[in-house]
Amino acid sequence: MTQIIRAEHMGFCFGVRDAFQAAQQATQPQKTAIYGELVHNTDVTDALEQREFQLLGESDRDSIPERPIVMVTAHGISDRRRNLLQSSGKELLDTTCPLVRRVHQAATALIDRDHFVVLIGSRNHVEVQGIIEDLPANRCAVVADASEVANYGTPKIGIIAQTTIPDSIAQECRDEIAKQNHQASIRWTNTICRPTRQRQNAVDQLCQKVGLVIVVGGKNSNNTQRLLQRCLSHNVEAYHVQSADELRTDWFVGHQRIGLTAGTSTPDTTIDAVEQELRRITSVRGRRMQRDQVWCDAWSNRDWADYFYDNMNHPPTVAWSKTPTLSATEKAAVIASIQTFQLGESGEGRHICRAAKNWTDRGGDEDYLSALKLFLQEENCHAAWLEKFLQQEGEAILTHHWSDHCFRSVRHLAGLRTSIMVLLTAEILAQVYYLALLRSTDSPTLRTICQRILRDERAHVQFQQNQANVLASRWSRGRRWLVSQAESIGFQIARRIVWHDHRSVFVAAGMNWKAYRDRTSRRWLSARRVR
Protein backbone atom coordinates (compact mmCIF):
# COMPACT_ATOMS: atom_id res chain seq x y z
CA MET A 1 0.00 0.00 0.00
CA THR A 2 1.31 3.44 -0.92
CA GLN A 3 2.16 5.71 2.01
CA ILE A 4 1.64 9.49 1.78
CA ILE A 5 3.97 11.44 4.12
CA ARG A 6 3.47 15.13 4.81
CA ALA A 7 6.36 17.47 5.52
CA GLU A 8 6.38 18.59 9.15
CA HIS A 9 6.08 22.24 8.11
CA MET A 10 4.36 23.40 4.92
CA GLY A 11 1.68 25.65 3.49
CA PHE A 12 0.58 29.07 4.70
CA CYS A 13 3.07 30.93 6.86
CA PHE A 14 1.56 33.22 9.48
CA GLY A 15 2.12 36.32 7.33
CA VAL A 16 0.23 34.98 4.33
CA ARG A 17 -2.43 33.43 6.57
CA ASP A 18 -3.07 36.79 8.25
CA ALA A 19 -3.33 38.52 4.86
CA PHE A 20 -5.70 35.84 3.57
CA GLN A 21 -7.90 36.14 6.65
CA ALA A 22 -7.95 39.92 6.27
CA ALA A 23 -9.26 39.50 2.72
CA GLN A 24 -11.89 37.01 3.89
CA GLN A 25 -13.05 39.41 6.59
CA ALA A 26 -13.09 42.48 4.32
CA THR A 27 -16.56 44.02 4.36
CA GLN A 28 -16.28 46.06 1.16
CA PRO A 29 -14.65 43.85 -1.50
CA GLN A 30 -16.39 45.77 -4.29
CA LYS A 31 -14.47 48.87 -3.20
CA THR A 32 -11.16 47.14 -2.59
CA ALA A 33 -8.20 46.62 -4.91
CA ILE A 34 -5.66 43.97 -3.90
CA TYR A 35 -2.29 45.47 -4.72
CA GLY A 36 -0.47 42.51 -6.24
CA GLU A 37 -0.99 38.77 -5.82
CA LEU A 38 -2.35 37.95 -2.37
CA VAL A 39 -1.40 34.29 -2.83
CA HIS A 40 -0.13 32.35 -5.82
CA ASN A 41 -3.16 30.06 -5.96
CA THR A 42 -5.82 29.97 -8.67
CA ASP A 43 -8.59 28.65 -6.37
CA VAL A 44 -8.07 31.58 -4.00
CA THR A 45 -7.85 34.01 -6.92
CA ASP A 46 -11.13 32.71 -8.37
CA ALA A 47 -12.80 33.04 -4.96
CA LEU A 48 -11.57 36.62 -4.59
CA GLU A 49 -12.81 37.47 -8.08
CA GLN A 50 -16.22 36.05 -7.27
CA ARG A 51 -16.35 38.31 -4.22
CA GLU A 52 -15.60 41.15 -6.68
CA PHE A 53 -12.24 42.31 -5.38
CA GLN A 54 -10.18 44.11 -8.00
CA LEU A 55 -7.08 41.96 -8.46
CA LEU A 56 -4.00 43.82 -9.64
CA GLY A 57 -1.04 41.89 -10.99
CA GLU A 58 2.47 42.59 -9.80
CA SER A 59 3.09 44.55 -13.01
CA ASP A 60 0.10 46.80 -12.23
CA ARG A 61 1.70 48.24 -9.11
CA ASP A 62 3.09 51.18 -11.06
CA SER A 63 -0.41 52.62 -11.43
CA ILE A 64 -2.80 54.01 -8.83
CA PRO A 65 -5.86 51.76 -8.40
CA GLU A 66 -9.24 53.31 -9.10
CA ARG A 67 -10.91 51.81 -6.05
CA PRO A 68 -10.87 53.74 -2.77
CA ILE A 69 -9.48 50.92 -0.60
CA VAL A 70 -6.12 49.33 -1.40
CA MET A 71 -5.05 46.10 0.27
CA VAL A 72 -1.27 45.71 0.57
CA THR A 73 -0.28 42.05 0.45
CA ALA A 74 2.08 40.22 2.81
CA HIS A 75 4.97 40.97 0.42
CA GLY A 76 4.74 44.64 1.40
CA ILE A 77 5.49 47.82 -0.52
CA SER A 78 8.02 50.61 -0.24
CA ASP A 79 7.36 53.63 1.96
CA ARG A 80 7.56 55.75 -1.18
CA ARG A 81 4.73 53.82 -2.79
CA ARG A 82 2.74 53.73 0.44
CA ASN A 83 2.96 57.52 0.70
CA LEU A 84 1.95 57.86 -2.94
CA LEU A 85 -1.19 55.79 -2.37
CA GLN A 86 -2.12 57.70 0.77
CA SER A 87 -1.54 61.07 -0.87
CA SER A 88 -3.90 59.92 -3.63
CA GLY A 89 -6.64 59.54 -1.04
CA LYS A 90 -6.54 55.75 -0.78
CA GLU A 91 -7.45 53.95 2.41
CA LEU A 92 -4.82 51.28 3.03
CA LEU A 93 -5.56 47.82 4.37
CA ASP A 94 -1.96 46.92 5.12
CA THR A 95 -1.26 43.20 5.61
CA THR A 96 2.52 43.39 5.19
CA CYS A 97 4.18 40.47 6.97
CA PRO A 98 6.04 41.64 10.12
CA LEU A 99 9.11 39.73 8.96
CA VAL A 100 9.11 41.63 5.66
CA ARG A 101 8.83 44.89 7.61
CA ARG A 102 11.91 43.78 9.49
CA VAL A 103 13.89 43.58 6.24
CA HIS A 104 12.78 47.13 5.33
CA GLN A 105 13.86 48.36 8.75
CA ALA A 106 17.21 46.56 8.55
CA ALA A 107 17.92 48.07 5.12
CA THR A 108 17.08 51.58 6.29
CA ALA A 109 19.19 51.18 9.43
CA LEU A 110 22.21 50.10 7.38
CA ILE A 111 21.84 53.10 5.07
CA ASP A 112 21.61 55.39 8.10
CA ARG A 113 24.91 53.92 9.33
CA ASP A 114 26.59 54.66 5.98
CA HIS A 115 26.67 51.06 4.75
CA PHE A 116 26.41 49.96 1.15
CA VAL A 117 23.50 47.48 1.19
CA VAL A 118 23.70 44.15 -0.62
CA LEU A 119 20.32 42.43 -0.78
CA ILE A 120 20.42 38.70 -1.54
CA GLY A 121 17.27 37.82 -3.47
CA SER A 122 15.39 37.74 -6.75
CA ARG A 123 15.50 41.28 -8.15
CA ASN A 124 12.16 40.90 -9.94
CA HIS A 125 10.35 39.65 -6.84
CA VAL A 126 7.85 42.13 -5.43
CA GLU A 127 9.28 41.87 -1.90
CA VAL A 128 12.75 42.80 -3.13
CA GLN A 129 11.43 45.63 -5.28
CA GLY A 130 9.58 47.07 -2.31
CA ILE A 131 12.78 47.11 -0.26
CA ILE A 132 15.15 48.67 -2.79
CA GLU A 133 12.67 51.36 -3.86
CA ASP A 134 13.37 53.11 -0.55
CA LEU A 135 17.16 52.91 -0.92
CA PRO A 136 19.47 55.24 -2.88
CA ALA A 137 20.24 53.54 -6.19
CA ASN A 138 23.98 54.17 -5.82
CA ARG A 139 24.12 52.63 -2.37
CA CYS A 140 22.58 49.22 -2.89
CA ALA A 141 22.83 46.12 -5.06
CA VAL A 142 20.74 42.99 -5.50
CA VAL A 143 22.38 39.61 -6.06
CA ALA A 144 20.54 36.38 -6.80
CA ASP A 145 23.54 34.15 -6.06
CA ALA A 146 27.29 34.25 -5.52
CA SER A 147 28.04 34.61 -9.24
CA GLU A 148 26.53 38.12 -9.20
CA VAL A 149 28.66 39.42 -6.33
CA ALA A 150 31.13 42.20 -7.18
CA ASN A 151 33.72 44.44 -5.55
CA TYR A 152 31.62 47.37 -4.37
CA GLY A 153 34.52 49.71 -3.60
CA THR A 154 33.13 50.86 -0.29
CA PRO A 155 34.50 50.62 3.26
CA LYS A 156 31.24 49.43 4.88
CA ILE A 157 28.91 46.77 3.50
CA GLY A 158 25.66 45.61 5.06
CA ILE A 159 24.13 42.34 3.88
CA ILE A 160 20.45 41.43 4.17
CA ALA A 161 18.34 38.78 2.45
CA GLN A 162 14.92 38.27 0.97
CA THR A 163 12.86 36.40 3.55
CA THR A 164 12.56 33.23 1.45
CA ILE A 165 16.20 32.81 0.39
CA PRO A 166 17.72 29.44 1.38
CA ASP A 167 20.44 29.62 4.04
CA SER A 168 22.89 27.91 1.70
CA ILE A 169 22.58 30.60 -1.00
CA ALA A 170 22.87 33.35 1.59
CA GLN A 171 26.04 31.79 3.00
CA GLU A 172 27.61 31.40 -0.45
CA CYS A 173 26.89 35.06 -1.22
CA ARG A 174 28.31 36.20 2.12
CA ASP A 175 31.50 34.24 1.54
CA GLU A 176 31.91 35.70 -1.94
CA ILE A 177 31.24 39.25 -0.74
CA ALA A 178 33.92 38.84 1.93
CA LYS A 179 36.33 37.42 -0.64
CA GLN A 180 35.86 40.23 -3.17
CA ASN A 181 35.61 43.02 -0.60
CA HIS A 182 38.27 41.97 1.91
CA GLN A 183 39.09 45.60 2.66
CA ALA A 184 35.53 46.37 3.78
CA SER A 185 33.85 46.10 7.16
CA ILE A 186 30.96 43.71 6.58
CA ARG A 187 27.80 43.46 8.66
CA TRP A 188 25.34 40.58 8.16
CA THR A 189 21.75 40.97 9.33
CA ASN A 190 19.92 37.67 9.07
CA THR A 191 16.48 38.50 7.67
CA ILE A 192 15.58 35.03 6.41
CA CYS A 193 12.29 34.20 8.08
CA ARG A 194 11.84 31.27 10.44
CA PRO A 195 8.88 29.74 8.54
CA THR A 196 11.06 29.58 5.42
CA ARG A 197 13.80 27.76 7.32
CA GLN A 198 11.28 25.39 8.84
CA ARG A 199 9.83 24.46 5.46
CA GLN A 200 13.21 24.01 3.83
CA ASN A 201 14.53 21.88 6.70
CA ALA A 202 11.31 19.86 6.68
CA VAL A 203 11.81 19.14 2.98
CA ASP A 204 15.37 17.98 3.68
CA GLN A 205 14.03 15.53 6.25
CA LEU A 206 11.17 14.44 4.00
CA CYS A 207 13.53 13.61 1.14
CA GLN A 208 15.32 11.11 3.39
CA LYS A 209 12.09 9.12 3.73
CA VAL A 210 10.53 9.09 0.25
CA GLY A 211 11.35 8.50 -3.39
CA LEU A 212 9.02 11.14 -4.81
CA VAL A 213 7.71 14.48 -3.57
CA ILE A 214 4.69 16.48 -4.72
CA VAL A 215 5.26 20.21 -4.20
CA VAL A 216 2.03 22.23 -4.13
CA GLY A 217 2.02 25.94 -4.92
CA GLY A 218 1.48 28.62 -7.53
CA LYS A 219 3.59 28.60 -10.67
CA ASN A 220 4.72 32.15 -9.83
CA SER A 221 5.57 31.35 -6.22
CA ASN A 222 9.26 31.92 -5.57
CA ASN A 223 9.40 29.89 -2.36
CA THR A 224 7.53 26.98 -3.98
CA GLN A 225 10.08 26.87 -6.78
CA ARG A 226 12.86 26.79 -4.20
CA LEU A 227 11.21 23.87 -2.41
CA LEU A 228 11.07 22.01 -5.72
CA GLN A 229 14.74 22.69 -6.42
CA ARG A 230 15.62 21.58 -2.90
CA CYS A 231 13.91 18.24 -3.50
CA LEU A 232 15.72 17.77 -6.79
CA SER A 233 19.04 18.59 -5.13
CA HIS A 234 18.52 15.49 -2.98
CA ASN A 235 18.15 13.42 -6.18
CA VAL A 236 14.52 12.79 -5.30
CA GLU A 237 11.91 12.77 -8.05
CA ALA A 238 9.67 15.81 -7.56
CA TYR A 239 6.73 17.44 -9.33
CA HIS A 240 5.22 20.89 -8.91
CA VAL A 241 1.42 21.16 -9.09
CA GLN A 242 -0.96 24.02 -8.41
CA SER A 243 -3.97 21.85 -7.64
CA ALA A 244 -5.17 18.26 -7.40
CA ASP A 245 -6.29 18.07 -11.03
CA GLU A 246 -2.68 18.43 -12.23
CA LEU A 247 -1.60 15.13 -10.68
CA ARG A 248 -0.69 12.43 -13.20
CA THR A 249 -1.13 8.79 -12.34
CA ASP A 250 1.97 7.65 -14.21
CA TRP A 251 4.20 9.63 -11.81
CA PHE A 252 3.54 7.21 -8.99
CA VAL A 253 4.29 3.89 -10.65
CA GLY A 254 6.82 2.00 -8.54
CA HIS A 255 6.68 4.42 -5.59
CA GLN A 256 5.54 3.14 -2.22
CA ARG A 257 6.31 6.28 -0.19
CA ILE A 258 5.28 9.67 -1.56
CA GLY A 259 6.09 12.98 0.12
CA LEU A 260 3.87 16.06 0.16
CA THR A 261 4.92 19.65 0.81
CA ALA A 262 3.65 23.09 -0.16
CA GLY A 263 4.76 26.69 -0.53
CA THR A 264 3.87 29.42 1.93
CA SER A 265 1.08 30.75 -0.30
CA THR A 266 -0.79 27.45 -0.51
CA PRO A 267 -4.02 27.19 1.52
CA ASP A 268 -4.76 24.15 3.66
CA THR A 269 -7.80 23.36 1.51
CA THR A 270 -5.62 22.97 -1.59
CA ILE A 271 -3.09 20.81 0.25
CA ASP A 272 -5.86 18.61 1.64
CA ALA A 273 -7.43 18.25 -1.81
CA VAL A 274 -4.09 17.20 -3.30
CA GLU A 275 -3.53 14.67 -0.53
CA GLN A 276 -7.02 13.27 -0.94
CA GLU A 277 -6.51 12.91 -4.69
CA LEU A 278 -3.11 11.32 -4.13
CA ARG A 279 -4.65 8.71 -1.86
CA ARG A 280 -7.44 8.05 -4.32
CA ILE A 281 -5.14 7.77 -7.33
CA THR A 282 -2.65 5.47 -5.63
CA SER A 283 -5.31 3.22 -4.11
CA VAL A 284 -7.37 2.97 -7.31
CA ARG A 285 -4.26 2.49 -9.43
CA GLY A 286 -3.18 -0.35 -7.16
CA ARG A 287 -6.55 -2.09 -7.34
CA ARG A 288 -6.82 -1.72 -11.10
CA MET A 289 -3.30 -2.88 -11.78
CA GLN A 290 -4.00 -6.00 -9.78
CA ARG A 291 -6.85 -6.71 -12.20
CA ASP A 292 -4.56 -6.00 -15.19
CA GLN A 293 -6.68 -3.07 -16.29
CA VAL A 294 -5.31 -0.04 -18.10
CA TRP A 295 -5.48 3.16 -16.06
CA CYS A 296 -5.86 6.29 -18.20
CA ASP A 297 -6.56 8.94 -15.60
CA ALA A 298 -7.75 9.49 -12.06
CA TRP A 299 -11.48 9.27 -12.86
CA SER A 300 -12.98 6.53 -14.97
CA ASN A 301 -15.90 7.23 -17.28
CA ARG A 302 -18.09 5.35 -14.82
CA ASP A 303 -16.98 7.83 -12.15
CA TRP A 304 -17.94 10.69 -14.46
CA ALA A 305 -21.31 9.16 -15.27
CA ASP A 306 -22.05 8.81 -11.56
CA TYR A 307 -20.92 12.38 -10.95
CA PHE A 308 -23.10 13.88 -13.70
CA TYR A 309 -26.10 11.84 -12.61
CA ASP A 310 -25.75 12.93 -9.00
CA ASN A 311 -25.07 16.54 -9.99
CA MET A 312 -28.24 16.78 -12.05
CA ASN A 313 -30.24 15.44 -9.13
CA HIS A 314 -29.01 18.34 -7.00
CA PRO A 315 -29.94 21.48 -8.97
CA PRO A 316 -29.20 24.94 -7.57
CA THR A 317 -31.77 26.78 -5.50
CA VAL A 318 -32.56 29.71 -7.79
CA ALA A 319 -34.60 32.64 -6.48
CA TRP A 320 -36.80 33.11 -9.54
CA SER A 321 -38.58 36.45 -9.67
CA LYS A 322 -41.94 37.43 -11.10
CA THR A 323 -40.47 40.74 -12.22
CA PRO A 324 -37.25 41.61 -14.08
CA THR A 325 -34.14 41.80 -11.91
CA LEU A 326 -31.71 43.52 -14.28
CA SER A 327 -31.21 47.26 -14.32
CA ALA A 328 -31.40 49.11 -17.63
CA THR A 329 -27.61 49.40 -17.71
CA GLU A 330 -27.18 45.70 -17.02
CA LYS A 331 -29.69 44.78 -19.70
CA ALA A 332 -27.82 46.79 -22.28
CA ALA A 333 -24.59 45.03 -21.36
CA VAL A 334 -25.64 41.40 -20.94
CA ILE A 335 -28.98 40.43 -22.52
CA ALA A 336 -27.84 39.96 -26.12
CA SER A 337 -24.83 38.07 -24.83
CA ILE A 338 -26.91 35.74 -22.64
CA GLN A 339 -29.23 35.05 -25.56
CA THR A 340 -26.26 33.87 -27.63
CA PHE A 341 -24.74 31.79 -24.85
CA GLN A 342 -28.09 30.19 -24.06
CA LEU A 343 -28.27 28.98 -27.64
CA GLY A 344 -24.76 27.56 -27.39
CA GLU A 345 -25.57 25.62 -24.21
CA SER A 346 -28.49 23.84 -25.89
CA GLY A 347 -28.39 20.94 -28.31
CA GLU A 348 -28.80 17.18 -28.43
CA GLY A 349 -25.22 16.40 -29.45
CA ARG A 350 -26.27 13.80 -32.00
CA HIS A 351 -23.04 14.04 -34.02
CA ILE A 352 -20.67 13.60 -31.09
CA CYS A 353 -22.81 10.78 -29.70
CA ARG A 354 -22.57 8.96 -33.05
CA ALA A 355 -18.81 9.45 -33.07
CA ALA A 356 -18.59 8.19 -29.49
CA LYS A 357 -20.73 5.16 -30.37
CA ASN A 358 -18.39 4.34 -33.27
CA TRP A 359 -15.42 4.57 -30.91
CA THR A 360 -16.99 2.28 -28.32
CA ASP A 361 -17.96 -0.19 -31.06
CA ARG A 362 -14.29 -0.39 -32.00
CA GLY A 363 -13.33 -1.36 -28.46
CA GLY A 364 -13.48 1.94 -26.60
CA ASP A 365 -14.82 2.32 -23.08
CA GLU A 366 -18.60 1.83 -23.22
CA ASP A 367 -19.05 3.93 -20.09
CA TYR A 368 -17.83 6.97 -22.02
CA LEU A 369 -21.01 7.12 -24.09
CA SER A 370 -23.12 7.01 -20.92
CA ALA A 371 -21.06 9.75 -19.31
CA LEU A 372 -21.19 11.84 -22.49
CA LYS A 373 -24.98 11.68 -22.68
CA LEU A 374 -25.28 12.73 -19.04
CA PHE A 375 -22.84 15.57 -19.70
CA LEU A 376 -25.01 16.76 -22.60
CA GLN A 377 -28.07 16.64 -20.37
CA GLU A 378 -26.25 18.84 -17.87
CA GLU A 379 -25.43 21.33 -20.63
CA ASN A 380 -29.11 21.41 -21.52
CA CYS A 381 -29.92 22.13 -17.88
CA HIS A 382 -27.71 25.22 -18.20
CA ALA A 383 -29.60 26.23 -21.33
CA ALA A 384 -32.92 25.74 -19.54
CA TRP A 385 -31.88 27.94 -16.61
CA LEU A 386 -30.73 30.70 -18.94
CA GLU A 387 -33.92 30.38 -21.01
CA LYS A 388 -36.05 30.72 -17.89
CA PHE A 389 -34.01 33.74 -16.82
CA LEU A 390 -34.51 35.42 -20.21
CA GLN A 391 -38.24 34.78 -19.94
CA GLN A 392 -38.21 36.27 -16.44
CA GLU A 393 -36.60 39.39 -17.89
CA GLY A 394 -39.13 39.51 -20.74
CA GLU A 395 -36.55 38.78 -23.44
CA ALA A 396 -36.69 36.60 -26.55
CA ILE A 397 -34.98 33.24 -27.04
CA LEU A 398 -32.68 32.95 -30.06
CA THR A 399 -32.97 30.06 -32.48
CA HIS A 400 -29.97 30.92 -34.65
CA HIS A 401 -26.70 32.84 -34.37
CA TRP A 402 -23.74 32.88 -36.73
CA SER A 403 -21.08 32.04 -34.12
CA ASP A 404 -23.10 29.13 -32.74
CA HIS A 405 -23.54 27.88 -36.31
CA CYS A 406 -19.74 28.02 -36.80
CA PHE A 407 -19.02 25.98 -33.66
CA ARG A 408 -21.61 23.35 -34.56
CA SER A 409 -20.40 23.13 -38.17
CA VAL A 410 -16.83 22.42 -37.09
CA ARG A 411 -18.03 19.64 -34.79
CA HIS A 412 -20.17 18.10 -37.52
CA LEU A 413 -17.24 17.97 -39.94
CA ALA A 414 -14.85 16.40 -37.46
CA GLY A 415 -14.19 13.11 -35.72
CA LEU A 416 -14.59 12.38 -32.03
CA ARG A 417 -11.41 13.97 -30.70
CA THR A 418 -11.80 17.17 -32.70
CA SER A 419 -15.42 17.39 -31.55
CA ILE A 420 -14.20 17.02 -27.98
CA MET A 421 -11.57 19.73 -28.46
CA VAL A 422 -14.21 22.09 -29.86
CA LEU A 423 -16.28 21.42 -26.75
CA LEU A 424 -13.22 21.85 -24.54
CA THR A 425 -12.48 25.19 -26.20
CA ALA A 426 -16.05 26.31 -25.58
CA GLU A 427 -15.92 25.17 -21.93
CA ILE A 428 -12.68 27.06 -21.26
CA LEU A 429 -14.00 30.26 -22.80
CA ALA A 430 -17.27 29.77 -20.93
CA GLN A 431 -15.43 29.69 -17.61
CA VAL A 432 -14.05 33.17 -18.19
CA TYR A 433 -17.34 34.38 -19.66
CA TYR A 434 -19.51 33.28 -16.73
CA LEU A 435 -17.04 34.77 -14.28
CA ALA A 436 -17.35 38.10 -16.13
CA LEU A 437 -21.15 37.76 -16.26
CA LEU A 438 -21.21 37.11 -12.52
CA ARG A 439 -19.17 40.24 -11.89
CA SER A 440 -21.30 42.42 -14.18
CA THR A 441 -24.68 41.95 -12.50
CA ASP A 442 -26.42 42.41 -9.16
CA SER A 443 -29.33 40.15 -10.14
CA PRO A 444 -29.53 37.41 -7.46
CA THR A 445 -31.15 35.07 -9.98
CA LEU A 446 -28.43 35.46 -12.59
CA ARG A 447 -25.64 35.35 -10.02
CA THR A 448 -26.88 32.01 -8.65
CA ILE A 449 -27.05 30.58 -12.17
CA CYS A 450 -23.53 31.81 -12.98
CA GLN A 451 -22.06 30.39 -9.79
CA ARG A 452 -23.52 26.94 -10.47
CA ILE A 453 -22.51 26.93 -14.14
CA LEU A 454 -18.97 27.99 -13.19
CA ARG A 455 -18.73 25.02 -10.84
CA ASP A 456 -20.07 22.67 -13.51
CA GLU A 457 -17.78 24.03 -16.21
CA ARG A 458 -14.69 23.21 -14.17
CA ALA A 459 -15.80 19.58 -14.12
CA HIS A 460 -16.69 19.69 -17.82
CA VAL A 461 -13.19 20.84 -18.73
CA GLN A 462 -11.66 17.95 -16.79
CA PHE A 463 -14.06 15.43 -18.36
CA GLN A 464 -13.31 16.57 -21.91
CA GLN A 465 -9.59 16.77 -21.18
CA ASN A 466 -9.52 13.21 -19.86
CA GLN A 467 -11.14 11.76 -22.96
CA ALA A 468 -9.07 13.87 -25.35
CA ASN A 469 -5.94 12.54 -23.65
CA VAL A 470 -7.18 8.95 -23.93
CA LEU A 471 -7.77 9.34 -27.66
CA ALA A 472 -4.32 10.89 -28.20
CA SER A 473 -2.43 8.52 -25.90
CA ARG A 474 -1.14 6.33 -28.74
CA TRP A 475 -0.22 9.10 -31.14
CA SER A 476 3.36 9.72 -32.13
CA ARG A 477 5.10 12.78 -30.72
CA GLY A 478 5.09 14.40 -34.16
CA ARG A 479 1.37 13.93 -34.61
CA ARG A 480 0.67 15.32 -31.16
CA TRP A 481 2.72 18.41 -31.94
CA LEU A 482 1.00 19.04 -35.28
CA VAL A 483 -2.47 18.55 -33.84
CA SER A 484 -1.70 20.75 -30.83
CA GLN A 485 -0.60 23.56 -33.14
CA ALA A 486 -3.81 23.30 -35.15
CA GLU A 487 -5.88 23.20 -31.96
CA SER A 488 -4.10 26.26 -30.60
CA ILE A 489 -4.92 28.19 -33.76
CA GLY A 490 -8.54 27.09 -33.49
CA PHE A 491 -8.63 28.20 -29.87
CA GLN A 492 -7.27 31.64 -30.74
CA ILE A 493 -9.90 32.07 -33.45
CA ALA A 494 -12.68 30.98 -31.09
CA ARG A 495 -11.37 33.31 -28.40
CA ARG A 496 -11.57 36.24 -30.81
CA ILE A 497 -15.12 35.32 -31.78
CA VAL A 498 -16.23 35.16 -28.14
CA TRP A 499 -14.60 38.52 -27.43
CA HIS A 500 -16.33 40.02 -30.47
CA ASP A 501 -19.75 38.66 -29.50
CA HIS A 502 -19.57 39.26 -25.74
CA ARG A 503 -17.28 42.21 -25.31
CA SER A 504 -19.98 44.22 -23.54
CA VAL A 505 -20.08 41.67 -20.70
CA PHE A 506 -16.31 41.58 -20.29
CA VAL A 507 -16.10 45.38 -20.30
CA ALA A 508 -18.93 45.62 -17.77
CA ALA A 509 -16.93 43.28 -15.54
CA GLY A 510 -13.84 45.48 -15.84
CA MET A 511 -12.02 42.98 -18.04
CA ASN A 512 -10.11 44.38 -21.02
CA TRP A 513 -8.76 42.35 -23.93
CA LYS A 514 -5.41 41.69 -22.25
CA ALA A 515 -7.01 40.39 -19.06
CA TYR A 516 -9.43 38.23 -21.05
CA ARG A 517 -6.62 36.90 -23.24
CA ASP A 518 -4.38 36.10 -20.27
CA ARG A 519 -7.12 34.30 -18.34
CA THR A 520 -8.19 32.19 -21.28
CA SER A 521 -4.58 31.42 -22.22
CA ARG A 522 -3.77 30.12 -18.74
CA ARG A 523 -6.78 27.83 -18.75
CA TRP A 524 -6.06 26.60 -22.27
CA LEU A 525 -2.41 25.80 -21.56
CA SER A 526 -3.43 23.85 -18.48
CA ALA A 527 -6.21 21.93 -20.22
CA ARG A 528 -4.31 20.95 -23.37
CA ARG A 529 -1.63 19.11 -21.42
CA VAL A 530 -1.61 15.45 -22.45
CA ARG A 531 -1.20 13.20 -19.44
Binding site annotation covers 122? no
d(CA 92, CA 90): 6
Binding site annotation covers 40? yes
pLDDT for residue 1: 64
Q: How far is CA 194 from CA 18, 32, 191, 302, 491, in A?
A: 16, 31, 9, 47, 45
Burial call 224-252: b when 16+ CB within 10 Å, e when fewer: bbbbbebbeeeebbbbbbbbbbbbebebb
Binding site annotation covers 9? no
Domain regions of the chain by residue span: 10-97, 99-192, 203-292, 296-528
Q: Into which CATH architecture does domain 99-192 fall?
A: 3-Layer(aba) Sandwich (3.40)
pLDDT tens per residue, range 58-80 = 766 777 888 999 999 999 999 99
Is there a catalytic annotation at residue 127?
yes
Nearest CA to 93 among 125, 68, 61, 119? 68
Question: How does strand 257-262 pair with strand 3-6?
Answer: parallel
pLDDT for residue 55: 87
3.40.50.300, 3.40.50.11270, 3.40.50.2000, 3.40.50.1580: which CATH number matches 10-97? 3.40.50.11270
Find the distance separating the first CA and the last CA of the chain, reported in whole Å. 24
pLDDT for residue 190: 95
Q: Using H for helix, E for strand and C for coil, what is the string for 273-338?
A: HHHHHHHHHHHHHHHHHHCCCCCCCCCCHHHHHHHHHHHHCCCCCCCCCCCCCCCHHHHHHHHHHH
pLDDT tens per residue, range 172-223 = 999 999 999 999 999 999 999 888 889 999 999 999 999 899 999 988 788 8
pLDDT for residue 529: 58
- Reduced to 3 states, what is the DSSP secondary structure of residue 439? helix
Give Cα 299 distance to the centre of its chain.
Answer: 21
d(CA 333, CA 351): 34
d(CA 335, CA 443): 12
Binding site annotation covers 193? yes
d(CA 135, CA 107): 8
Binding site annotation covers 337? no
Binding site annotation covers 346? no
Topology (CATH) of 296-528: Ribonucleotide Reductase, subunit A (1.10.620)
Amino acid 117 reads V
pTM for this one?
0.53
Sheet holding 54-56, edge to edge: 54-56, 32-35, 69-72, 91-94
pLDDT for residue 291: 30
Q: Which residues of the chain have pLDDT under 50?
A: 285-297, 530-531
Tell me if domain 203-292 and domain 296-528 are identical in fold.
no
* Residue 54: its H or E element: strand 54-56
Max CA separation in the chain (angstroms): 83
Nearest CA to 425 among 496, 509, 322? 496
**CATH class assigned to 203-292:** alpha beta
* Residue 214: its H or E element: strand 212-216
Instruction: Say which of 37, 49, 127, 387 is annotated catalytic.
Output: 127
Binding site annotation covers 405? no
Q: Which of the 8 DSSP states describes residue 264?
A: T
Question: How does strand 156-161 pair with strand 185-188?
Answer: parallel
pLDDT tens per residue, range 105-155 = 999 999 999 999 999 999 888 899 999 999 999 999 999 999 999 999 999
Binding site annotation covers 221? yes
Binding site annotation covers 311? no
